[in-house]
Amino acid sequence: MFQVNYIQLHETMKEKYGDLHWWPADTVDQIIIGSILTQNTAWKNVEVAIKNLSVANKDNLHAISEMEIDQLREYIRPAGFFNQKSGYLKEICIAIEKAGGIGKVGEFNDQELEKFLISIKGVGRETMQDIMLYAFRRKVFVVDKYTERIFSRIGIIEKGMKNAFELGKEIEKGMKIEDLNNFHGEIVEICKNICQTNPKCNQCFLKNDCNYAKDFTDP
């Protein structure tokens, strides 16, 4: 079995999916809302929650920043963890408003933006990366559970690197932002459509490069 690198992995998936135009949302505000709501939660449930906000014309940071927590909780209930997420969501909306809104926060440099986001309760490493890349178009590679799964199965963690996060820092330096955007989208799509629904991975178009598929074919 030959060893693929991250560029080859991206090229293979790009060929299949084309430009994905991630993140799946209509507005920047929806991207930020979705990044909180999708924490350890199926995207389908997040869509319902965002729809609830949207039909009430509350799918924006300003509306949420001044919404009663009890009401917010009912809108987002389908996305699970609603007691925590209602608080997290209101917190990040207030924090951005307080910092002068999306426009002002968008003027932060990468380091300032990362520090600002990670200081908000409910925003951890991956959520911060999602918002950096997809809401503020910064050169960031997102490492989520799917990324760790794919990288581990395909075995592209390079020697000297401990985990997907370390490789991610290399990937950030080595790829253009539009490729970083697509790459993470591709990883999520392939995991949602194939690895997740077919745990044995035997229908995956990456199967020749996938350690997990190899394990499956072994007796």
Partner DNA sequence: CACCAGGAATGTA
Partner DNA sequence: TACATTCATGGT
Instruction: Compute CA 139 distance to the chain's CA centroid, rounded to the nearest angstrom.
Output: 14
Q: Name the token pair of 135.
A: 């809401």
| Kind and range of the H or E run holding 173 | helix 164-174
Number of Cβ atoms within 10 Å of the Cβ of 174:
13
Q: Is 155 left (phi over 0), alpha (psi -120 to 50) or beta?
A: left
Work out how close the CB of 48 gets to DNA at its nearest, in angstroms, rounded to a whole number. Answer: 7
CA end-to-end distance (rounded Å), the chain: 17
CB 119 within 8 A of CB 147: no
Nearer to DNA, 1 or 69 (CB): 69
Work out how close the CB of 82 gets to DNA at its nearest, in angstroms, rounded to a whole number. Answer: 5
Nearer to DNA, 33 or 206 (CB): 33
Work out how close the CB of 124 gets to DNA at its nearest, in angstroms, rounded to a whole number. Answer: 2
Nearer to DNA, 144 or 209 (CB): 144
Dihedral angle sign, alpha carbons of residues 37, 43, 45, 48: positive
Work out how close the CB of 197 gets to DNA at its nearest, in angstroms, rounded to a whole number. Answer: 7
Nearer to DNA, 145 or 200 (CB): 145
Q: Name the token pair of 46.
A: 């997040």
Instruction: Catalog residues that contact DNA under the rule CB under 7 A.
Output: 23-24, 34-35, 38-45, 48, 77-78, 80-85, 120-128, 130, 134, 144-146, 188, 191-192, 196
Work out how close the CB of 211 gets to DNA at its nearest, in angstroms, rounded to a whole number. Answer: 17
Nearer to DNA, 35 or 60 (CB): 35
